[in-house]
Amino acid sequence: MIRRAMRAGVPLGLLAALALPALALAKGDGDSLGAYDKGALVETTLINTLWVLVAAVLVLFMQAGFAMLEIGFSRQKNAGSGVAKILTNLSIAALAYWSVGFALAFGVDDSVSGLFGTDGFFLQDYEDAVPSEALAEAGVVNGDPRAAFPVMGLSDASIEAKWLFQFAFCAVSLAIVWGTTLERIKYMAYVAYAVVFSAIIYPVGSHWVFGGGWLQESVGMQDFAGSTAVHLIGATGALAALLLLGPRKNKFGPDRKARAIPGHSMPLVGLGTIILFIGWFGFNAGSTFNVEDLRFAEVAVVTLLGGAGGVIGAFVATTVFQKTIDIGMVANGMIGGLVAITAPSGYVESWSAPIIGLVAGVIVVAGVLAIEKRLDDPVGALSAHGLAGVWGTLSCGIFTSPRLAQYNAFGEESGGLWYSGSFAQLGHQALGVVVVFTFVLVLSLATFALIKATIGLRVEDEAEDAGLDIVEHGMYGYPEQFIPLPEIGAASHGPAAPGGFGNGAAAPEPAGSHAMSAKGATA
Amino acid sequence: MIRRAMRAGVPLGLLAALALPALALAKGDGDSLGAYDKGALVETTLINTLWVLVAAVLVLFMQAGFAMLEIGFSRQKNAGSGVAKILTNLSIAALAYWSVGFALAFGVDDSVSGLFGTDGFFLQDYEDAVPSEALAEAGVVNGDPRAAFPVMGLSDASIEAKWLFQFAFCAVSLAIVWGTTLERIKYMAYVAYAVVFSAIIYPVGSHWVFGGGWLQESVGMQDFAGSTAVHLIGATGALAALLLLGPRKNKFGPDRKARAIPGHSMPLVGLGTIILFIGWFGFNAGSTFNVEDLRFAEVAVVTLLGGAGGVIGAFVATTVFQKTIDIGMVANGMIGGLVAITAPSGYVESWSAPIIGLVAGVIVVAGVLAIEKRLDDPVGALSAHGLAGVWGTLSCGIFTSPRLAQYNAFGEESGGLWYSGSFAQLGHQALGVVVVFTFVLVLSLATFALIKATIGLRVEDEAEDAGLDIVEHGMYGYPEQFIPLPEIGAASHGPAAPGGFGNGAAAPEPAGSHAMSAKGATA
Amino acid sequence: MIRRAMRAGVPLGLLAALALPALALAKGDGDSLGAYDKGALVETTLINTLWVLVAAVLVLFMQAGFAMLEIGFSRQKNAGSGVAKILTNLSIAALAYWSVGFALAFGVDDSVSGLFGTDGFFLQDYEDAVPSEALAEAGVVNGDPRAAFPVMGLSDASIEAKWLFQFAFCAVSLAIVWGTTLERIKYMAYVAYAVVFSAIIYPVGSHWVFGGGWLQESVGMQDFAGSTAVHLIGATGALAALLLLGPRKNKFGPDRKARAIPGHSMPLVGLGTIILFIGWFGFNAGSTFNVEDLRFAEVAVVTLLGGAGGVIGAFVATTVFQKTIDIGMVANGMIGGLVAITAPSGYVESWSAPIIGLVAGVIVVAGVLAIEKRLDDPVGALSAHGLAGVWGTLSCGIFTSPRLAQYNAFGEESGGLWYSGSFAQLGHQALGVVVVFTFVLVLSLATFALIKATIGLRVEDEAEDAGLDIVEHGMYGYPEQFIPLPEIGAASHGPAAPGGFGNGAAAPEPAGSHAMSAKGATA
C-alpha cells in the first residue's frame, strides 16, 4: 500500500515541482536580445558563446555514452530499464538544475560565506547583482548575468550557453551514480535521489570546487573541469547507494568469493566508451569557456593524451594482473584516464598527460580487482570515476605548471611538486578531496536512507530474478530473447535460409516450427 | 513480371534523375569564393556560416537516431531492412532536394502567388534574382543567393550551409514517414515515395509554413523550426501510408483487439532517442541561422526544457494510464516534448517550455493508446510527431511572447492568448495545421495509391511472416539468430567457458555440439 | 614460451615508448598562450581554430563508426575483441603520432629532399623553424609553429587544433587496416603494427601526398582530404595483412568457392555507417583548415552529394548483379562514395559529385564480388576504401575545375580532362596512386612478415573456432549467447511473460527452467 502510494506520490511531487516555473513567469528572458538591440555585444561574445554551446552539446551526448555503457554491463533482463532511467533522470535534472541547482552552484555566495550561491533561480532573479571590481573594470554592469554568476563572469559567453554547459555536467555526475546500482535498485528510488542530487548535493559540492566556493577561493584547490567536482561526486553518490543496497544476488558465493556476472553486450560498452571519449572534448576543452586565448585546443590535446595513457595503462595492467586482455578493463582504462586528466587538463603541460593517464589506467584495473572482493559495482564506476578522480585531482599537486597556475589564478603560483619541490598544492588537493567526499557521502547516505525507509531502495528477490524490465516496466528490453515466439505476433520468425531462397520468393513453408529451429533449439 | 519490371525500372529512373545534374554543369559554383576574393565577406558571415554548418551536421546525425529507433521497434527478422532503407532514402532525398526541392521550398515565389519557389534549382540558377527592399538596404545585390532565397536572406550565412541545414530537415521529415510502415512495406515503395516527397510534397508544404509562403506571410502562422513544417508533414505522410497499407498480420486478433508486437531492442530505441535529442539542438537552435543576437543559446535552453517536460509528462501518464513505466512511452515522451517545443522554441519565454513539453508528453501517451486501438503504428510516430506537432504549433497561439513575435515579425504583435487575451494567433495556428495536414494527406494518398497500383505497397503474406530481411535483401539482419550454425562457417561458435579456460589455451572439444547448448537449448 | 615472452615484451615496449615524452618535458607548451598575452592573435585565428577543432572531434567520432561497422560484420564470438582493439589502437596511435608521426608528416622536409619532415617531435622542437617566403610575408616569424609545419601554415589555426585533426586522420587510416583481418588475427599483432603504422608508414606516405612532399609539390598530385593519403594507405595495409594472414577457416570450400560468413548485426553496421557519414563532414570540410573563404560549406555539400551518389550506385549495382538489395553493399556504397569524393572534394564543382559517387558505388559492389572470389575481406574494405580511393583520386584527373586547381595551387592550372582535354592531371594522379600503393604495400608486408616471424600473426585453429573473445580476452562479447545461464549469476533470467504479469508482482515460479524455454528451446 505504501509502495503504491509512493508510486502515485512521486509523480504528483514532480507535477508540483513543475508548477514552480510558473512562479517565474512575470519576467521575460531576453537579456541577450536586449544587449544585442543596444549594440552592446562585443565580438568575442559571439564566438565564445558558440564554442560553449557546441561543447555543451558534446557533453550532453555523453548521456548516450553512459546509457550504452551501463546497459552493456547489465544482463539482458535489465537492459530496457536503463533506457527509461537515463531519460527520466536527465529530465528531472534539467528542471531541478534550472530552477534551483545552478543558482546554488554559481550564484553570488557572499551572504553565506562561500557555502552556496543565493541568486539566479530559474536563470532569472539576478537583476540586483553587483559585479565584482574586476568584472566592473571589464565593463560588466549591475544586473548583468556576468555579475550574478561571478566565476563564469570571466567569460563573456551568454549565460544561457553557460547554463546549458553546466547542466550537462550535472547530468554527467548524476549518470555516474547509477553505475553501482544496476539490476536491483527500484525505479522510484532513482527518481527521488535525482531530485535531491541535482538540486542540492551536486550544486553545493561543485560550488565549493569550481563554482567560486571556499575550496577554490580560500584553499586554492585546482580542478579545471571536474575530476572531483563531477566524477568523484558522482562516484561518492554511487558508493552511498551501494552501501545501503548491497550486492546483487549470487554475486558472492557461499564462500564469500566474488563471482563474475558479465554484462550482456561488450559492443554496447565499446560504443558507450567512444561516445564518452568524444564528449570529453567538450567537457575539458569547453571548461575554458572561451576561445580567445586558444587554450581550448591545448586542453583538447592534453585530454586525448590522458585518455590514451589510460588505455595503455589498463591494457598493461590487465595483461599482467589478469593474464588476459579484459575488454571492460580496457574500456574503463580509457574512462579512468579521461577522468584523471579532467582536473589537470588546464593546469599541466602536455608531457604530463600520458603519465597521468597511464597511472590512472593501472589504478582503475587494480581498483576494480580490489573493490570487487567486497562490493558489487557492475560497471566499475567506483574505480573509474572515484579512484581515478582522486588520482587526477591529486596529480595537479604534482604536475601543475607554474605558468598555468598563475594564468588560472588558483592555487600555488610555484606549481606542483615536480616544479616547486613543495607539497603545498598536493595538500590543498588532498584536503579538497577529503572534504568533498565526506560531504557528498554523508548527504547521500542520509538521502538514500530516507528513500529506503519510505519508497524502498531494492526490488524484491523474485523481481531481481525476473529482471527489472518485466517487473518495473511490464515488458522486456529484448522481447524475442524472453517471450515464446508465438506470443510476439504469431509466426513472427522466418525460416532458416536455404540456398536459393532470398530473391523475393515467398517463404516455402509455415514459419512457426522453423522459427524454433532457427534459434538453435532441437527437440 | 510487372514487379520485376518495376524493380528494374526504378533504378533506371534514378539513373535518369542523376543525369539531370549534368544539365547544370555549364556554370561553376564559386559564389562564396568570388565574394572572398573581392574582400566582400563581412565578419559575421563567417561565424554565422560556421554555426549553421555545425547545426546541419547535428540534424543530419538524427538519421542515426531514426534508424536506431525504428530498428529497435522492429522485430529481429526486419531489423536489417531499416539500415538499407535509411541510407537509400537519405541519398534519394539529397539529390531530389538539391536539384528541385530547395528551389520550391525557398526560392522567390512572386510569380506563383506564394505557392512555391521558382528559382534556385541545383543551387545555381539564381543569377537574375533581385533582392527585396529590406535586403537591398542590407547590401544584398542582384544575383546574390540571399536575393534568391528571400526568407533565409535575413541571415548572411553562406547559401551552401543553409542548403545543407534545410536538406537535413527534409531528411528528418522523410524519416518520420516510415515509422508507421515497418515490417510490411515493399522496399521499392519507399524509394518511389521518397522521390515525390523530397522533391515536391515536403518542399511545397514547408514553403507555406516557414519558407516565406502564404501561411507565414499572409496568415501569420508561427512555426519557428517545424512542429508543423517538418514533424506534422512527416507524420501525415505516415498516416497516408498506413491507411493504404493496413496493419501488420496478427496485430488485431479475431476479437479486433490490438495485440502488442514488441520491438526487439529497447537499448537501440534508447540510443536512437538520445541521438535525436542531441540533434534537436541543431534543429531548433540552428533555425536562428545566425549567432549575432545570441538567441541560439536561448533557443537551446528552451528546447532542453521542452524535452525534459515531455519525458516527465509521459512518465506520469504511463504510470497512471498503464500502471507501469512503459519504456517506449518514456522515449516517445521525450520525442513528443521536443516535437512540441520546435514551433514555439523561438517564440516563447523559457518558463513556458516545461509546460508545453509536459502537455506533449501526456498527449503522446494518450495518443498512442487511443491510436493503437484502430491503427498499427509500430513506433508511435502518429502520436509523437503528429499529435505533438499539432499541439506544439497550437501552443504558439497560447504562449508566444509579444517581444519575440515582434522580433521575428510573424504573427500577432500582441502575442498568444496568455499575453493578449486574444484567440487570434491560435486561430492562425489552427488554420495552418488544417491546411498543411490536408495538403500533405491528399498528395500522399494519391502518391501511395499510384504506387499501390503499380509497384505494389505491401509484401505478400508469406514474406511478412518470413521477414523483410530475407525476402527483400536475401540475408538476415541478425544471421546468427536465424541460420543454423553449421551454415555460418562450420563450427563457428565457441564452447561455453569452463573455469580455467580463457588465457589463450585452445578450445578443448569440438565446438559444434557445444554451440547448441551454449544457445540455451537442450535435447 | 616465445609467445608468452612477446606478450610480456610488448607492454614493456609500450612503457618504454611512454617514457619518451619525459624527454620533452624541459620545454613548456604555451605557444598560443604566449601569443595571446602579446595581443598577437588575429581574429580569424579564433574562428579557424574553432572550426578545425570541431572538425577534428567529428573525425575522431569516426572511431565509433569503424568499431560498429567491424563488429557488426563479425560473428558474435568475435564481437568483444573489436572493442578492445579500437581503443588500444587509437591510444597507441595518439602517442606515436604525437611523439613522432606528425613531425614526419608535416615538418620541414628540406634536408631530406621532401621525403619526410624532420622537425616538430612532441609538438615541441620547432623553435629553429624558419618560415618560407610566402609565410614570412604573411607575418609568420621564426619559431612560429606555422613556420615549422609549412603546408598547414597556410591556415592560421592553432597548431594544437591542427595536430588533433591530423591525428584523427591517422587513426582513421589505421582503423581501415583491421577490416580484412577480423576473426583470426592475434591481438598483439595489431598492437605491433599500429606502432609502426602510426609512427612511420602513414606519416611518410601522407607527407608525400598532402603534407608538402614530392608527390604534391613536384608531381602535382591532387588529394584534398585523403582518398589516397588516408583511405588507400589504410586499405593497402589491410591488403598486406590479408596476404600474409589468409582467409578465415571455411571461407573457401573444398571446391575453392567462397561461402558467405555473414556478420552478426546489420543494425550495428548501419549505425557505424551513419556515424562515418557524419564524421566525413569534419573530414572533408575540415581539410580547408579555415572558414575565411567559406569553402568549407561548399566542400560539405559536395561531400554529401558524393555519398548520396555512392548509395544509389551501389543500390543499382546490387539489384542488378545480385538480384537483391544487399544491405552491406548499400552501406559500403555510401562509404565508397564518401571515400571517392574525399580527394576531389576541394577540387570539383558540385555537379560532378553525384557522378563521382555513383561510379564509386558501382565499383564498390563489383569490387567486393570480384575480390571475394580470391580473398577473404569480411568488411569489404579493399573495395570501399581501396578501389574507391583509387577511383576518387583518379577522378580529380577528370573533373578538377580550373578555378579550384588554381585556388589550391596544386596540379595543372587547366584542370582535369573534362575541362582541359588533357590527360596530364590524370597522369599525375595515377603516378601518385602507384607510388603510394607500392610504398605502403612493401613496408607493410615487411612489417607483418616480421610480426609473423616473432609474435605470430594468426591465432591457432582451435582458437579461431572458439572465437577471439574467449581466447584473447577470457570472456565473451555477448556472454548470454554462449554461457549456460546458471553460470551467469544463478537463475539470472526471467520467465516468459504471461498475461497479467508485469505490474510489479513477483515472478510466480522458479526462474531457472523458464529461462531455458524463454530462449526458445524445448525438450
For chain C, positions 448-507, list CB contacts with chain B under 8 A.
460-463, 465-467, 469-476, 481-485, 487, 502-504
Instruction: Please give the share of chain A, as a percent, with pLDDT higher than 70.
Output: 84
Query: How many residues appear in chain B?
Result: 523
Exposed/middle/buried for residue C394 (C-beta within 10 Å: 0-12, 13-18, 19+): buried
Q: How far is CA B88 from CA B164, C308, C358, in A?
A: 18, 8, 13
Weakest-pLDDT range from A56-65, A310-319, A341-350, B116-125: B116-125
Exposed/middle/buried for residue A111 (C-beta within 10 Å: 0-12, 13-18, 19+): exposed
In this structure, are residues A162 and A52 in contact, taking their beta carbons and an 8 Å threshold? yes
In this structure, are residues A329 and A369 in contact, taking their beta carbons and an 8 Å threshold? no
C81 touches chain A (CB under 8 A): yes
Of A21-30, C1-10, C467-476, give the range with the top mean pLDDT: C467-476
User: Cell numbers 562479447 correspond to what residue?
Assistant: C477
Name which residue leads in pLDDT, C106 or C521: C106
For B378, the 3-state DSSP assignment is: coil
Confidence of residue A17 (pLDDT cuts 50, 70, 90): low
Confidence of residue C512 (pLDDT cuts 50, 70, 90): very low
In this structure, are residues B361 and B314 in contact, taking their beta carbons and an 8 Å threshold? yes
Weakest-pLDDT range from C15-19, C44-48, C304-308: C15-19
Q: Which three cell numbers stand for residue C105?
A: 608528416
Query: Which residue from C61, C187, C479 is facing A278, i.e. has the nearest CB?
Result: C61
DSSP letter for each residue of A138-202: TT--TT-HHHHSTGGGGS-S-HHHHHHHHHHHHHHHHHHHGGGGTTTB-HHHHHHHHHHIIIIIH
pLDDT score for B186: 96
Indicate the average pLDDT of chain B: 87
Q: Is the pLDDT of residue B138 over 90?
A: no
CB contact under 8 A, A481 and C518: yes
Q: Is the pLDDT of residue A34 over 60?
A: no
| Residue A92 per-residue DSSP state | H
Name which residue leads in pLDDT, A462 or C135: A462
DSSP letter for each residue of C311-370: HHHHHHHHHHHHSS--HHHHHHHHHHHHHHHHTGGGTS-TTHHHHHHHHHHHHHHHHHHH
B62 touches chain C (CB under 8 A): no
Q: pLDDT, tens digit, for every residue of A198-213? A: 999 999 999 999 999 9
For chain A, positions 367-396, list CB contacts with chain B under 8 A.
none
Q: pLDDT, tens digit, for every residue of A313-367? A: 999 999 999 999 999 999 999 999 999 999 999 999 999 999 999 999 999 999 9
Q: How far is CA A65 from CA A176, B195, B307, in A?
A: 11, 35, 19
Smallest CA-to-CA distance from C98 within A312, A396, A65, A318 is with A312
Helices A295-322 & A352-371, crossing angle to 10 degrees? 40
Q: CB-side exposure of A395: number of CA atoms within 13 Å?
A: 34
| C461 phi, psi to nearest 5 deg | -50, -50
| B471 phi, psi to nearest 5 deg | -80, -45
What is the amino acid identity at position C42?
Answer: V
Fold of C45-134+142-453: Ammonium transporter fold (1.10.3430)
Q: Is the pLDDT of residue B1 over 70?
A: no
pLDDT score for A19: 58
Q: How far is CA A71 from CA B182, B276, C205, in A?
A: 25, 19, 41
Which residues, including other chains, have CB under 8 Å from residue B107's CB and lie 6 or more apart?
B116, B117, B118, B119, B120, B126, B148, B149
Estimate to the nearest angstrom the gap between the alpha carbon of C366 and the chain centroid.
22
pTM of the model: 0.91
Q: pLDDT, tens digit, for every residue of C462-504? A: 999 999 999 999 999 999 888 876 666 544 343 333 333 333 3
What integer is the mean pLDDT of B303-326? 97
In this structure, are residues C249 and C374 in contact, taking their beta carbons and an 8 Å threshold? no
The CA distance from A91 to A94, in Å, is 5
DSSP letter for each residue of A355-411: HHHHHHHHHHHHHHHHHTTT---TT-HIIIIIIHHHHHHHHHHHH--HHHHHHHT-S
What integer is the mean pLDDT of B127-150? 83
CB contact under 8 A, B281 and A80: no
pLDDT score for C113: 85
Q: pLDDT, tens digit, for every residue of B220-254? A: 999 999 999 999 999 999 999 999 999 999 999 88
Q: How far is CA B38 from CA A297, B33, C48, in A?
A: 31, 9, 20
Estimate to the nearest angstrom the gap between the alpha carbon of C374 and the chain centroid.
24
User: Cell numbers 581498483 correspond to what residue?
Assistant: A367
pLDDT score for B36: 55
Instruction: Please give the share of chain C, as a percent, with pLDDT higher than 70.
Output: 84
Query: Which residue from A47, A57, A478 is facing B58, i.e. has the nearest CB?
Result: A57
Q: pLDDT, tens digit, for every residue of C182-195? A: 999 999 998 999 99
Exposed/middle/buried for residue A2 (C-beta within 10 Å: 0-12, 13-18, 19+): exposed
Q: pLDDT, tens digit, for every residue of C344-389? A: 999 999 999 999 999 999 999 999 999 999 999 999 999 999 999 9
Q: pLDDT, tens digit, for every residue of B343-390? A: 999 999 999 999 999 999 999 999 999 999 999 999 999 999 999 999
A424 touches chain B (CB under 8 A): no
End-to-end Cα, chain B, rounded Å: 46
What is the amino acid identity at position C132?
Answer: S
Q: Is the pLDDT of residue A37 over 60?
A: no
Question: Subunits touching B (CB < 8 Å, at least 3 pairs)?
Answer: A, C
Q: Mutate which of C274, C492, C516, C522 to disrupt the A interface (most A C-beta within 10 Å)? A: C492
Confidence of residue B9 (pLDDT cuts 50, 70, 90): low
Indicate the average pLDDT of chain C: 87
Q: pLDDT, tens digit, for every residue of A225-282? A: 999 999 999 999 999 999 999 999 999 989 989 998 999 999 999 999 999 999 999 9
Confidence of residue C164 (pLDDT cuts 50, 70, 90): very high
Other CB atoms closer than 10 Å to residue B509's CB: what's the count? 11
Query: Which residue from B43, B355, B519 is facing A520, i.e. has the nearest CB?
Result: B519
Q: pLDDT, tens digit, for every residue of A94-107? A: 999 999 999 999 99
Weakest-pLDDT range from A98-107, C109-118, C121-130: C121-130
User: Cell numbers 600520458 correspond to what residue?
Assistant: A354
Angle at the Cα of B227 (from B221 to B231), degrees rounded to 5? 130
The CA distance from C348 to B28, in Å, is 9
DSSP letter for each residue of A48-63: HHHHHHHHHHHHHHHH
What integer is the mean pLDDT of C432-455? 98
The CA distance from C192 to C456, in Å, is 11
Q: In angstroms, what separates the C-alpha of A430 from chain B's closest C-alpha? A: 36
Q: pLDDT, tens digit, for every residue of B495-505? A: 333 333 223 33
Q: In angstroms, what separates the C-alpha of B437 from chain A's closest C-alpha? A: 31
pLDDT score for A33: 53
pLDDT score for C36: 55
What integer is the mean pLDDT of C194-223? 96
What integer is the mean pLDDT of C59-82? 97
Q: In terms of CA atoms, which chain A residue is nearest residue C59? A: A278
pLDDT score for A372: 94
CB contact under 8 A, C71 and A325: no
Confidence of residue B161 (pLDDT cuts 50, 70, 90): very high
Q: Which residues pair with A20 in a beta bridge?
A: none
Q: Which residues of chain B neighbour C261 with C-beta distances below 8 Å?
A: 488-489, 492
Weakest-pLDDT range from B141-145, B351-355, C400-404: B141-145
CB contact under 8 A, C316 and B522: no
The CA distance from C521 to C484, in Å, is 13
In this structure, are residues A415 and A395 in contact, taking their beta carbons and an 8 Å threshold? no
Q: Is the pLDDT of residue A21 over 80?
A: no
The CA distance from A296 to A307, in Å, is 17
Instruction: Please give the share of chain B, as a percent, with pLDDT higher than 90.
Output: 73
Q: Is the pLDDT of residue A516 over 50?
A: no
pLDDT score for B125: 72
Other CB atoms closer than 10 Å to residue B462's CB: what's the count? 16
The CA distance from B496 to B518, in Å, is 6
In this structure, are residues A432 and A221 in contact, taking their beta carbons and an 8 Å threshold? yes
Which region holds residue C502: left if phi is over 0, alpha if psi is between -120 and 50, else beta?
left
Name which residue leads in pLDDT, C44 or B105: B105
In chain B, where the domains are located: 45-134+142-453
Smallest CA-to-CA distance from B465 within A377, A189, A490, A8 is with A490
Q: How far is CA B93 from CA A350, B62, B423, in A?
A: 45, 15, 38
B198 touches chain C (CB under 8 A): no
In this structure, are residues B270 and B215 in contact, taking their beta carbons and an 8 Å threshold? no
Radius of gyration of chain A (CA): 25
Name which residue leads in pLDDT, C444 or A488: C444
> ipTM of this predicted complex?
0.90
pLDDT score for C18: 57
